[in-house]
Amino acid sequence: MRDLVGISTPTGWVRGKDRLAAIAAAEGLSLRAYLARLAETLLTPAERAERAEKALAALNEWNGYAPTAAQQQDLDSELDRRLAQVTGQ
């Protein structure tokens, strides 16, 4: 979250908290309720890895898709390149 909000100092944490509180208030929620709702929509790294593993297994079963580690890295790099292109980074 720190990278997303650009926070690296105690003052930055306060600005980040104030921003989240303003977003929550605009949606008619307390900061606590907003964060609880947000937490329900996010996956932990372990949950993301589990989903990716299940998706890969389903693709393999469906059509034999089984990329090598090098192919997966190439695909990840291409996705990163495309995301950077559309976000202007």
Query: What is the pTM for the complete model shown?
Result: 0.60
Q: Tell me the residue type at 42.
A: L
Q: Euclidean distance between the first and final Cα of the chain, in Å?
A: 19
Buried b vs exposed e over 14-46: b needs ≥16 C-beta within 10 Å?
A: eebeeebbeebeeeebeeeebeeeeeeeeeeee
Give phi and psi for 6, each to the nearest 5.
75, 40
Task: Determine the pLDDT at residue 22.
Answer: 95
Task: Determine the pLDDT at residue 1.
Answer: 45
Mean pLDDT by 10 residues, the chain (89 residues): 54 83 96 96 96 96 95 95 91
Task: Determine the pLDDT at residue 34.
Answer: 97
Task: Determine the pLDDT at residue 40.
Answer: 95
Task: Determine the pLDDT at residue 88.
Answer: 86
Task: Determine the pLDDT at residue 65.
Answer: 95
